[in-house]
């Protein structure tokens, strides 16, 4: 039996039948073949019969011209899976005896031979890849075939997930991204990431098949306030090292400059200043560029020349002036490197798709090659639909690149919160109306990964995206596969589940798992059944223990230390809230048994809750400092309400009425 996933069924039926017949005939394994859980979800997976046990020895065949970093990655994957001996080979033998891994682009003869043996057809999309595994009586062949070098690297990332299983199933995977641009833009206000955090982030982006990182921290003075000035040599060198890391991870490093607060659009000297800035970045290996014109005014000019050139300030004049500047920069980039990626810009009107004189000016005058970013229906939109994106396409005269302001937490409504809810409420099918999607992450790099994992997975395959399963996958990745740590992370994530928006309701309910549990306790206590009441209190005690224990588990070393360090005050607060909930459960139990201890338990819970609520964020870590929030509106409300849920006499005697 076979099973295929993927909206379009991209594996031809004749090829599938032949492939499965071959696999069934060649495999001596009696192990059941199960569908692997892979993220992002591949376009198509076709299972066969039989499995391959990688074993302790593998022969590795790399086609000529394969990127050495990709070969090194595959070697590290094999070693991590328990392979002790990796032998280099040049060709497949006629009879497969042992385990072979073949990698290269689909154009390489050795790769074509390996695919042919598996009756597999190579994926022919940019960044696409095929993985074909063929089981034999004494081993098997796993072929990683990329349409291009990027596709081969993505194939290796999928192989990394497959190699964690005890056996690799016989199968054919064909896969490619739905959106050409996927990744993040470091575009927040407040403390920028460190170079070490950026390096970790680029390594992480590779694992989720993202291909773009935009360097655009608002608080880099040489990219905004002092944009005309050259970077200090040490900073330029560090950025060059970062660009090298990006290339190794097949991530396009895009350098952004924000000249809007002071630029004179009609002054050739400022055009030249931008070109010098980009030339300096080109000298350290950066080849993709971005001009940010967000968060500025168009009600006044920065120079008299602009007034003379474009007339009185205003929306239409700003659109014309910006187009002139950007077109000149785009022409310069193309002249210096005809193969360079198009310039990206974010406009001053970067959200909604209402027709305005500014958008009309951009639509009319901006070079059609230039990519325009758009944040959706609002600065932080609660949802984005296909009609929303179609409207943006019409407004800007091109498909837009979505700048999704999630999970960024640099605005006042997010003070005290990490945003780690699943990435949801973006409509499947948006890939047809967007050129890509970039997440604006938090000031905290590692805690941003759960949400960014969802953004990357949606950008890769929006039509098969599963928010909850991807969210769980991100927790397992942070936990290094440890089940106890994964559970602790999911408990923590649940307490940071609200993404407030500008002028609208939160687009995620706060702490949905915890709220459901606490609502269940309230209902059981209200129902009057003694057995149900005591069972609910016991469940509450267990839930309180989970919350209390989660911070220490997260800090235990099984998770990236950066995650625990950047989450420190939240973990500190969570520990105290967990203890407060333990005492609350003890108070409810005591009250249920008519014990005089109930009042003391509730009083101690109230004291611990006050301590937890007073914990402050790390000074300067975000744009707005403030008290840490843990499941606010859910946990604090329950602890405060608990003394009213079961009647007890505060003097220590059983009471027939609830005190309110």
* Contact of 27 with 137, CB cutoff 8 Å: yes
CA nearest neighbour of 515 among 630, 635, 629: 635
Edge to edge, the sheet with strand 129-136 lists 4-5, 44-52, 168-175, 129-136, 138-146, 97-105, 57-62, 85-88
CA nearest neighbour of 389 among 404, 399, 378: 399
Q: What pLDDT, on the 0 to 100 scale, is given for residue 630?
A: 97
At residue 468's C-alpha, the angle toward residues 466 and 469, to 5°, is: 70
- The upper half-sphere exposure of residue 351, i.e. CA atoms within 13 Å in the direction of its Cβ, equals 15
How far CA 613 is from CA of 40, 231, 495, 638, in Å, comes to 37, 42, 14, 14
Q: What pLDDT, on the 0 to 100 scale, is given for residue 375?
A: 98
Phi and psi, residue 56, nearest 5°: -95, -10
Q: What pLDDT, on the 0 to 100 scale, is given for residue 649?
A: 62
CA nearest neighbour of 207 among 266, 250, 254: 250
Q: What pLDDT, on the 0 to 100 scale, is given for residue 284?
A: 98
Positions of E strands within 187-229:
212-215
* Contact of 48 with 23, CB cutoff 8 Å: yes
CA nearest neighbour of 621 among 554, 657, 568, 553: 568
Mean pLDDT by 10 residues, the chain (660 residues): 36 36 40 90 94 94 97 98 96 93 97 96 97 93 98 98 95 98 96 96 98 96 97 98 98 98 97 97 97 95 97 97 98 95 98 97 98 96 96 98 95 89 97 98 97 98 98 97 96 84 66 96 94 97 98 91 96 98 98 94 98 91 87 96 85 39
Please name the residues in contact with 200: beta carbons below 8 A apart, sequence gap of 6 or more.
Answer: 445, 446, 560, 562
* Contact of 132 with 158, CB cutoff 8 Å: no
* Contact of 420 with 450, CB cutoff 8 Å: yes
Cβ neighbourhood burial of 53 (10 Å; 0-12, 13-18, 19+): middle
Q: What pLDDT, on the 0 to 100 scale, is given for residue 137?
A: 86
Calpha distance 516→498 (Å, rounded): 15
For residue 146, the SS3 value is strand
* Contact of 184 with 214, CB cutoff 8 Å: yes
Please name the residues in contact with 638: beta carbons below 8 A apart, sequence gap of 6 or more.
Answer: 518, 521, 522, 581, 584
Cβ neighbourhood burial of 597 (10 Å; 0-12, 13-18, 19+): middle
Q: What pLDDT, on the 0 to 100 scale, is given for residue 171?
A: 97
β-strand partners of 402: 374, 437
Q: Tokens standing for 501?
A: 């928006």
Sign (positive or negative) of CA dihedral 404, 406, 409, 414: positive
CA nearest neighbour of 340 among 235, 440, 237, 254: 254
Q: What pLDDT, on the 0 to 100 scale, is given for residue 156?
A: 98
Q: What pLDDT, on the 0 to 100 scale, is given for residue 49?
A: 84
Positions of E strands within 352-396:
371-374
Distance of CA 258 to the CA centre of its chain: 25
Which is it for strands 371-374 and 344-346: parallel, antiparallel or unpaired?
Answer: parallel
Which is it for strands 181-186 and 434-439: parallel, antiparallel or unpaired?
Answer: parallel
For residue 268, the SS3 value is helix
């Amino acid at each position: 039996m076979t099973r295929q996933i993927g909206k379009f069924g991209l594996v031809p039926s004749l090829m599938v039948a032949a492939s499965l017949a071959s696999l069934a005939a060649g495999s001596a394994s009696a192990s059941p073949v199960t569908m692997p859980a892979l993220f992002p979800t591949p376009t198509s997976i076709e299972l066969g019969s039989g499995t391959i046990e990688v074993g302790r020895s593998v022969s590795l065949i790399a086609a000529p011209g394969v990127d050495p970093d990709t070969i090194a990655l595959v070697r590290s994957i094999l070693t991590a899976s328990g392979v002790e001996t990796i032998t280099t080979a040049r060709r497949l033998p006629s009879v497969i005896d042992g385990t072979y891994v073949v990698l290269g682009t689909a154009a390489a003869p050795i790769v074509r031979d390996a695919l042919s043996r598996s009756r597999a057809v190579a994926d022919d999309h940019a960044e696409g890849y095929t993985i074909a595994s063929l089981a034999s009586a004494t081993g098997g062949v796993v072929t990683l075939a990329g349409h291009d070098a990027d596709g081969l690297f993505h194939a290796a990332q999928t192989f990394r997930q497959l190699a964690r299983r005890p056996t690799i199933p016989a199968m054919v995977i064909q896969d490619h991204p739905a959106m050409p641009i996927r990744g993040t833009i470091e575009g927040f206000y407040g403390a920028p990431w460190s170079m070490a955090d950026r390096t970790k982030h680029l390594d992480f982006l590779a694992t989720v098949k993202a291909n773009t990182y935009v360097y655009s921290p608002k608080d880099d003075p040489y990219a905004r306030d002092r944009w005309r000035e050259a970077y200090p040599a040490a900073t330029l060198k560090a950025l060059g090292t970062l660009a090298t890391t990006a290339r190794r991870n097949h991530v396009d490093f895009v350098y952004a400059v924000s000249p809007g607060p002071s630029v004179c659009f009609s002054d050739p000297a400022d055009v030249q200043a931008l070109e010098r800035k980009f030339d300096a970045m080109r000298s350290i290996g950066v080849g993709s560029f971005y001009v940010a014109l967000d968060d500025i005014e168009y009600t006044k000019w920065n120079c008299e020349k602009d007034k003379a050139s474009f007339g009185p300030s205003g929306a239409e004049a700003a659109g014309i002036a910006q187009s002139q500047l950007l077109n000149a920069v785009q022409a310069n980039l193309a002249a210096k490197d005809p193969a360079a990626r198009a310039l990206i810009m974010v406009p001053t009107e970067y959200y909604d798709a209402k027709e305005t004189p500014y958008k009309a000016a951009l639509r009319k005058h901006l070079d059609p090659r230039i990519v325009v970013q758009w944040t959706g229906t609002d600065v932080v939109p609660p949802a984005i639909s296909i009609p929303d994106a179609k409207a943006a396409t019409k407004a800007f005269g091109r498909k837009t690149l979505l700048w999704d302001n999630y999970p960024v937490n640099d605005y006042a409504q997010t003070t005290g919160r990490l945003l780690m809810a699943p990435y949801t409420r973006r409509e499947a099918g948006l890939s047809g109306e967007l050129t890509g999607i970039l997440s604006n992450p938090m000031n905290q790099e590692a805690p941003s990964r759960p949400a960014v994992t969802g953004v990357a997975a949606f950008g890769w395959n929006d039509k098969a995206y599963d928010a909850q399963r991807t969210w769980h996958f991100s927790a397992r990745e942070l936990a290094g596969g440890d089940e106890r740590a994964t559970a602790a992370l999911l408990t923590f994530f649940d307490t940071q589940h609200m993404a407030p928006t500008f002028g609208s309701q939160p687009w995620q309910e706060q702490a949905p798992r915890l709220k459901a549990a606490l609502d269940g306790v309230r209902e059981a206590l209200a129902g009057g059944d003694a057995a149900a009441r005591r069972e609910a209190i016991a469940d509450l005690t267990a839930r309180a223990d989970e919350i209390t224990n989660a911070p220490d588990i997260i800090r235990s070393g099984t998770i990236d230390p950066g995650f625990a360090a950047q989450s420190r005050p939240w973990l500190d607060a969570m520990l105290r809230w967990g203890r407060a909930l333990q005492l609350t459960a003890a108070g409810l139990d005591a009250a249920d048994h008519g014990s005089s201890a109930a009042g003391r338990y509730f009083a101690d819970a109230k004291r611990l809750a006050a301590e937890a609520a007073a914990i402050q964020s790390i000074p300067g870590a975000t744009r707005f400092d403030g008290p840490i929030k843990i499941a606010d509106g859910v946990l604090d409300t329950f602890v405060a309400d608990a003394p009213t849920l079961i009647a007890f006499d505060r003097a220590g005697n059983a009471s027939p009425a609830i005190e309110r």
